[in-house]
Amino acid sequence: MKRDEPLLLAAIEVARRARENGNHPFGAVLAGPDGAVLLEVENTVVTDRDPTGHAETNLIRLAGREFGAGFLQECTLYASTEPCEMCAGAIYWSEIGRVVYGLSRSGLLELRQASTTGQLPIEVTGPMLLEEARAVHAGFWA
C-alpha cells in the first residue's frame, strides 16, 4: 500500500539512527489506525547490553504501557527488517494487528554470511518433569 511506504521509510531511518548510536541497524515504528506515528524505537542491544533490546521488543514494551491491547489490534508495526522469532512472539502477545517490514530475514542472512552464518547452535532438552511442570498451572487457565 502506498500509505505504508513513508512509514516503512521512517522505520528504516530509525534503524539508521540506531546504527549511528552504536547499535545494530534495526528500527520500528508504531502507527495508529489513522496512520499517525505513535512510537519510533531503535534497537538497543549494544548500548543497553541487553540481547532482547530489539527495536520491536523495545517498541512493544512501550506500547504495552501506553496503549491497551484492544487499541493495538488496530495498529500497524513497521519494522526495518523482518522480525525475528523472539520479536514475532512479542508481536503476537501484544496483539498488534498488522506488521509491515522491509528487508527479509533471508536477505539479512545473505548480508551476514561474510561474518557469520547467523545461526547459533542451541541444545534444547524437554519435555521433562511433566507432572511438576503441569502442577504449577493447575486451575490457573480455567
Active-site residue list: 56
- Give me 67's grid cell: 496503549
Strands annotated E in the chain: 27-31, 37-42, 76-81, 98-103
- Residue 137 phi/psi, 5° resolution? -95, -10
CB 51 within 8 A of CB 45: yes
Q: Helix H segments across 21-104? A: 55-66, 69-72, 85-94
